[in-house]
C-alpha cells in the first residue's frame, strides 16, 4: 500500500529551540540555507538569550526580519511566550506577515486569538498596539493585565518615535484646557518671550514655548482637570490613547505650548505603565543604524550594560554596493532642479540627456520629508506615496515592474526596495521636528553631538532603502547643502556606520576627480556604476573588505543617568533624581549641558525652588534656548569689533576645516534664512541671522531668545554702531503691507538698544518683511530699512559669492583676503545693510 507521509508526526521539530536548527527544519524555506551574517547573529543571540534586553545590529538588507522571526519562534519553542513581533507601522505588518508565510513560520495579527495566547503563532502588530493607554494588554495595576514572554522590536529606531508619541498628550487649541492654560500661564509665557508669548495668546503663528516648571508645578491641576474631563472621548486621539499613561505624572510633565497645541510629555516615557512590554522576559531590538543606542535606555528602559554589547555579524560586508554622491558638493551650479531633471532622464533610459533612450530605464525612488517637498517632484513623479498607500506600488516595483520616479513622503525606514525596484535613490532632505516639544528641543540642541547623531541616523536609514542584500546595488544622490555637508564634515562622518563610511570614502575619491565639472561628469559616473563597471566593482569590494561592525553599543552616561533620574523622580525621590542627572553632565558639550540642566532644575524645584533657579540660570548661560530664570537676566551689551575681517577669520577658522565644508555650511545657513510660514522655519531663520552676523565678523546676538525681550537679532557692526533686526519671515497675510504692530515692535527694539547698549551712538532699525510699504496706521522709526524677499535674494547671493571666493586657497584664514572679499561683495559694516535693504515706503493713499 502507498505510504502516507502526512501521518508522520514531526514531534522532534517542536523540541528544536536553536534558531538555526528551526530554519533547517522548515519545510517551505525559500532558500536552502541562512546567510552567513544571519547565522552568526542567531548563534550570538542564542548564547546570550537569557539576557533580558539584547540588540541585534545588521546592515540594511542583512535579513533582520528572518532573524527576528526565528528568534521569536525559538523563544516559543523554549516556552518563553507568548511572542510578539512589533513594527512601527501597518505597512511593515503586512511585510513581516508575507516573510513569515514564505518561511512557513506561523504568525497571526489577532492579539486576542487563541493561536497567539497559547503560543502557537507569533503576533505581528504595530508597536502602538501594545504600547498605548488603552492597550488590550492592560496597564499597570490592572488585575487582568496580560503578559508577553518575548517581544521582538523591528526597526527599533522607528519604534522609539512611536513610543514617544504614545506617551505624549496633545491638546488642540480648540479644547477648553488649552484656553485655560493661556489664561493661567499667559503672563509667564510673555515673560519667557514677549514676541512669541504675545503671538500664542493672539492665536498667531509662533515658536513653541515651555510653560516654566515652577509655574506648571503650582497650577497645573487647573488645566489637567479640563483634560481629564474629556479623556474618555475617543475622537480626541491625542488625549484618549495617552492620558492613562501620563495621568499619574502630570506634575513632572514638560508642558510645551504653541499656537496650535498644548503638549504634555514626561522627560522619559513611564514605560512601566505597560507591563506587557516592561515585564517581558525577553526584549530583542533589531536595528541597522542606531548611532545613539542610549535612546533604548532612556525611552524603553532597556538594560544599559546589555545594550552596550550589541550582537553583530563578524564582518560588515553584508551591505549592498552603493555609490553615494552629493552633486552640490561637486559644483554649486549643479542645482537641485537640474538633478531632478537628471533623475527623470535616468528613469526614462536617457543617460546622456539628449532626449534619446540609450540605456535600460530604471526605477528611481525619491525620499522627501513632507508633502510640500514632494511638490517639487510633481513634474517628474509617476507616483507620490504615503505610508498608508504605498504597499501595492512598492510590491509592483519589487516584482520587477518599471514605473519611473516614485516619491515616498516621510518614509525613511522599513521599506524594502530590492534590486530593480530601485537602482537610483535620491534623498531630498530629511524630516524636521513637527510637534512643539521636538521643535523646541531641536532648536536647543542644534550643533550638538545629539543633533548630529539624529540627523546622520535619519540620513543613513534613508540611504539604505535601495539595497537589500550583499549582491544588490544602488546609486544614492543627496540633494541640498545640509545633506551634502554630512559627506564632508568630519564630525558628521564619524557617526555613520563603518560600512557606510567606507562607501562614502570611496565615493569621495571618485567625486574628487570630477569636482567643479558639470552635469555630464555626474552622468558618466552614474552610468559606470549602474553599468557595473568592473574597475568600480573591484574598488568597491576592496573598500568594504575587512570592515567590521562597531563592537560597542553607544550608551552615554547622560542617557543612563536620565533614565535613572526619571525612575527616581517617578518613585517620589526628585532630590536623588536631580543629583543623579547633574553628576553625568560634566563631559558633554555646552548646548546639551544647558538643555539637560533644565531637566535637573525641574527635579530640584520639587525640593528646593531656590536651588532650581540657580541651576536654570546656569543652564541659560550654557544654552540660550532653555527657560528664562524667574529673576530677569541683565542684557549682554553688543559691541562691534574694531577689525571686522580679523573677527571674521577667527569665526571661520573655528568652524570650517576646508573650503568645501565652508561653502556648503554657508549655503545651508542661507537656506534657513528664508521667507516661509512653516512652523519649524521661523526659529531657524532667526538663528540664521545670528550665524550670518557672526560669519561676517559682527558681534551678533538673539536678545529676544536669550533674554526674553528685545529684538529677534542684534548685530554690533562697529564699536559704536549697531543694527536691531526684527523678522517677519513667517507671516502669510494676503496684504503684505507693514502693519502698526510690526513698526511698534521695531520701535521697541530701538528703545531696547538704547538701554542695553549705551555706548552705541547709531542704531539702524531693520525689518525683514514681504513688502517695504507701510500700512496707513503704521509709523516706522527714523532710518528704518526693510529687507524684502528680493533684497534677501541679493544678500544671499553676495554672501555665497563671498564664501566661494575665500574658500579657494584657504583664503578664510587670511584677514587680507577676507577683507578684500567683504568689500567686493558689499558685506562690510558700512555696506551690508545699505546695499541689501531699502527705505520704507509711504502708505498708499485712498483715491
Kindly report, residue by residue over 634-662, the tens digit of the pLDDT.
778 889 898 999 999 999 999 998 898 99
Mean pLDDT computed over 14-35: 84
pLDDT digits (tens, 9 = 90+) for 338-357: 999 999 999 999 999 999 99
pLDDT bin (cut points 50, 70, 90) of residue 10 is very low
Assigned C-alpha cell, 643: 577689525
Q: Does the pLDDT value for residue 8 go beyond 60?
A: no
Asked if residues 109 and 58 have their Cβ atoms less than 8 Å apart, the reply is no
Amino acid 665: pLDDT: 92
Higher pLDDT, 412 or 302: 302
- For the chain, the average pLDDT equals 90
- As a whole number of angstroms, the distance between CA 513 and CA 298 comes to 45
Band of residue 446 on the pLDDT scale cut at 50, 70, 90: confident
458 pLDDT higher than 70: yes
pLDDT score recorded for residue 680 = 63
| Closest by CA position to 110, among listed 121, 98, 94 | 121
Pairwise pLDDT comparison (159 vs 255), residue with the higher score? 255
Residue 452: the pLDDT is 87
All cell numbers assigned to 629: 530664570
| Contact status, residue 465 vs residue 415, Cβ threshold 8 Å | yes
DSSP label at residue 586: T
Question: How high is the pLDDT of residue 390?
Answer: 87
pLDDT at 342: 95
Among 169-173, 178-182, 202-206, 242-246, which stretch is predicted with the lowest mean pLDDT?
202-206
> What is Dmax (Cα atoms) for the chain?
111
Q: Which pLDDT value is given to residue 4?
A: 60
What is the mean pLDDT of the segment spanning 49-65?
86
Calpha distance 468→61 (Å, rounded): 3
**40 pLDDT higher than 90:** yes
Interstrand relation of 254-257 and 209-210 (parallel, antiparallel or unpaired): antiparallel
Q: What angle do CA 592, 593, 597 make, to 5 degrees?
A: 115
Provide the pLDDT confidence category of residue 218 given band limits of 50, 70 and 90.
Answer: very high
**Residue percentage of the chain with pLDDT more than 70:** 97
Give 652-656 contacts, CB < 8 A, sequence gap 24+.
Answer: 652/695, 652/806, 652/812, 652/813, 652/818, 653/812, 653/813, 656/812
Element (H, E) at 407: strand 405-409
Task: Please state the rounded mean pLDDT for residues 813-817.
Answer: 94
pLDDT for the residue 846: 56
Confidence check: pLDDT of 5 > 60: no
Q: How confident is the model at residue 291 (pLDDT cuts 50, 70, 90)?
A: low
Q: How confident is the model at residue 12 (pLDDT cuts 50, 70, 90)?
A: very low
Q: Which three cell numbers stand for residue 324?
A: 553615494
By CB atoms closer than 10 A (0-12, 13-18, 19+), residue 460 is buried
Q: Any long-range contacts for 826-834 (C-beta under 8 Å, 24+ apart)?
A: 826/798, 827/696, 827/798, 827/799, 827/802, 828/644, 829/640, 829/644, 829/698, 829/717, 829/718, 829/721, 830/717, 832/696, 832/717, 832/795, 833/717, 833/723, 833/764, 833/766, 833/785, 834/785
Cβ neighbours of residue 143 closer than 8 Å, sequence gap 6 or more: none
List the single range of 247-261, 483-497, 783-797 with lowest mean pLDDT: 483-497
743 pLDDT exceeds 50? yes
Can you give the pLDDT at residue 759? 83
Q: Is the pLDDT of residue 183 over 50?
A: yes
- Residues 681-693, mean pLDDT to the nearest whole number: 91
Chain-centroid distance of CA 606 in Å reads: 32
Contacts of 798 (CB under 8 A, 6+ apart): 825, 826, 827, 835, 836
The residue count for the chain: 847
pLDDT digits (tens, 9 = 90+) for 723-732: 999 999 888 7
Residue 9 has pLDDT above 80, yes or no: no
Report angle CA 571, 574, 580 to the nearest 5 degrees: 100
Q: Taking the model in full, what pTM does it have?
A: 0.88
Strand partners, 262: 171, 257
Q: By percentage, how much of the chain surpasses pLDDT 90?
A: 67
DSSP, res 311 = B
Choice among 206-210, 557-561, 676-680 with the minimum mean pLDDT: 676-680
pLDDT band at 290 (very low <50, low <70, confident <90, very high): low
Within 13 A of 751's CA, how many CA atoms are on the CB side?
7
Residue 375: pLDDT band (50, 70, 90) is very high
Cβ atoms of residues 791 and 671 within 8 Å: no
**What does the pLDDT average to over 325-342?**
89
List pLDDT tens digits, range 521-567: 999 999 999 999 999 999 998 988 888 888 888 899 999 999 999 99
Amino acid at each position: 500500500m502507498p505510504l502516507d507521509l502526512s501521518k508522520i508526526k514531526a514531534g522532534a521539530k517542536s523540541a528544536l529551540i536553536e534558531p538555526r536548527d528551526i530554519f533547517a527544519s522548515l519545510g517551505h524555506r525559500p532558500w536552502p540555507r541562512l546567510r552567513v551574517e544571519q547565522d552568526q547573529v542567531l548563534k550570538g543571540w542564542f548564547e546570550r538569550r537569557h539576557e533580558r534586553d539584547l540588540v541585534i545590529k545588521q546592515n540594511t538588507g542583512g535579513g533582520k526580519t528572518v532573524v527576528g522571526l526565528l528568534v521569536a519562534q525559538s523563544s516559543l519553542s523554549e516556552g518563553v511566550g507568548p511572542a510578539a513581533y512589533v513594527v512601527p507601522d501597518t505597512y511593515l505588518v503586512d511585510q513581516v506577515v508575507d516573510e513569515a508565510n514564505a518561511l512557513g513560520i506561523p504568525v497571526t495579527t489577532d492579539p486576542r486569538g487563541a493561536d497567539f495566547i497559547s503560543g502557537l503563532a507569533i503576533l505581528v502588530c504595530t508597536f502602538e498596539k501594545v504600547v498605548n493607554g488603552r492597550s488590550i494588554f492592560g496597564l499597570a495595576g490592572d488585575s487582568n493585565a496580560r503578559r508577553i514572554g518575548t517581544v521582538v522590536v523591528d526597526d527599533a529606531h522607528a519604534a522609539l518615535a512611536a513610543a514617544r508619541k504614545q506617551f505624549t498628550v496633545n491638546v488642540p487649541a480648540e479644547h477648553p484646557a488649552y484656553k485655560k492654560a493661556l489664561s493661567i500661564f499667559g503672563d509667564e509665557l510673555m515673560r519667557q518671550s514677549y514676541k512669541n508669548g504675545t503671538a500664542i495668546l493672539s492665536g498667531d503663528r509662533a515658536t513653541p514655548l515651555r510653560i516654566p516648571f515652577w509655574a506648571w508645578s503650582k497650577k497645573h491641576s487647573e488645566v489637567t482637570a479640563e483634560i481629564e474631563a474629556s479623556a474618555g472621548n475617543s475622537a480626541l486621539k491625542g488625549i484618549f490613547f495617552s492620558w492613562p499613561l501620563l495621568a499619574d505624572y502630570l506634575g513632572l510633565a514638560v508642558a510645551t505650548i504653541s499656537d496650535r497645541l498644548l503638549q504634555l510629555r514626561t522627560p522619559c516615557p513611564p514605560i512601566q505603565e505597560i507591563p506587557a512590554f516592561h515585564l517581558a522576559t525577553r526584549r530583542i531590538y533589531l536595528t541597522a543604524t542606531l548611532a545613539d543606542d542610549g535612546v533604548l535606555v532612556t525611552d524603553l528602559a532597556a538594560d544599559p550594560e546589555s545594550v552596550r554589547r550589541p550582537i553583530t555579524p563578524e564582518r560588515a560586508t553584508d551591505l549592498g554596493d552603493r555609490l553615494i554622491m552629493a552633486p552640490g558638493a561637486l559644483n554649486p551650479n549643479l542645482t537641485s532642479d537640474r538633478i531632478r531633471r537628471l533623475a527623470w532622464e535616468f528613469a526614462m533610459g536617457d543617460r546622456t540627456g539628449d532626449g534619446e533612450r540609450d540605456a535600460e530605464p530604471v526605477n528611481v525612488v525619491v525620499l522627501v520629508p513632507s508633502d510640500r517637498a514632494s511638490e517639487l517632484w510633481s513634474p517628474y513623479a509617476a507616483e507620490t506615496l504615503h505610508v498608508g498607500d504605498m504597499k501595492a506600488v512598492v510590491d509592483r516595483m519589487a516584482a520587477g515592474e518599471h514605473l519611473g520616479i516614485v516619491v515616498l513622503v516621510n518614509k525613511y525606514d522599513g521599506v524594502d526596495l530590492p534590486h530593480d525596484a530601485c537602482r537610483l535613490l535620491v534623498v531630498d532632505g530629511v524630516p524636521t521636528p513637527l510637534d512643539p516639544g521636538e521643535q523646541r528641543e531641536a532648536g536647543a540642541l542644534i550643533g550638538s553631538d545629539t543633533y548630529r547623531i539624529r540627523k546622520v541616523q535619519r540620513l543613513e536609514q534613508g540611504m539604505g532603502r535601495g539595497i537589500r542584500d550583499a549582491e544588490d546595488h544602488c546609486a544614492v544622490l543627496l540633494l541640498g547643502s545640509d545633506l551634502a555637508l554630512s559627506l564632508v564634515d568630519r564630525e558628521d562622518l564619524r557617526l555613520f556606520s563603518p560600512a557606510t563610511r567606507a562607501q562614502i570614502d570611496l565615493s569621495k575619491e571618485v567625486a574628487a576627480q570630477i569636482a567643479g565639472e558639470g552635469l555630464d561628469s555626474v552622468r558618466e559616473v552614474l552610468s559606470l556604476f549602474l553599468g557595473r563597471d568592473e574597475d568600480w566593482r573591484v574598488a568597491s569590494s576592496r573598500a568594504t573588505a575587512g570592515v567590521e561592525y562597531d563592537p560597542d553599543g553607544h550608551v552615554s552616561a547622560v542617557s543612563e543617568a536620565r533614565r535613572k533620574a526619571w525612575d527616581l523622580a517617578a518613585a517620589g525621590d526628585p532630590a536623588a533624581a536631580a543629583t543623579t542627572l547633574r553628576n553625568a553632565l560634566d563631559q558633554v558639550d555646552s548646548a546639551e549641558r544647558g538643555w539637560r540642566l533644565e531637566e535637573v532644575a525641574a527635579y530640584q524645584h520639587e525640593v528646593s525652588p531656590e536651588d532650581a533657579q540657580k541651576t536654570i540660570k546656569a543652564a541659560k548661560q550654557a544654552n540660550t534656548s532653555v527657560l528664562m530664570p524667574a529673576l530677569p537676566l541683565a542684557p549682554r551689551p553688543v559691541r562691534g569689533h574694531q577689525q571686522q575681517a580679523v573677527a571674521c577669520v577667527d569665526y571661520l577658522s573655528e568652524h570650517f576645516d576646508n573650503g568645501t565644508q565652508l561653502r556648503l555650511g554657508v549655503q545651508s545657513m542661507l537656506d534657513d534664512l528664508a521667507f516661509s510660514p512653516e512652523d519649524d522655519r521661523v526659529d531657524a531663520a532667526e538663528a540664521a541671522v545670528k550665524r550670518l552676523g557672526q560669519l561676517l565678523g559682527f558681534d551678533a546676538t538673539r536678545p529676544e531668545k536669550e533674554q526674553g525681550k528685545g529684538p529677534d537679532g542684534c548685530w554690533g557692526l562697529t564699536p559704536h554702531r549697531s543694527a536691531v533686526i526684527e523678522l517677519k519671515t513667517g507671516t502669510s497675510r494676503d496684504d503684505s503691507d507693514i502693519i502698526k504692530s510690526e513698526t511698534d515692535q521695531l520701535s521697541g527694539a530701538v528703545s531696547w538698544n538704547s538701554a542695553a547698549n549705551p555706548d552705541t551712538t547709531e542704531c539702524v532699525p531693520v525689518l525683514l518683511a514681504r513688502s517695504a510699504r507701510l500700512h496707513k496706521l503704521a509709523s516706522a522709526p527714523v532710518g528704518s530699512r526693510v529687507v524684502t524677499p528680493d533684497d534677501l535674494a541679493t544678500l544671499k547671493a553676495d554672501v555665497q559669492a563671498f564664501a566661494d571666493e575665500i574658500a579657494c586657497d584657504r583664503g578664510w584664514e587670511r584677514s587680507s583676503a577676507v577683507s578684500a572679499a567683504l568689500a567686493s561683495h558689499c558685506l562690510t559694516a558700512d555696506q551690508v545693510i545699505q546695499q541689501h535693504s531699502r527705505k520704507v515706503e509711504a502708505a498708499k493713499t485712498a483715491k
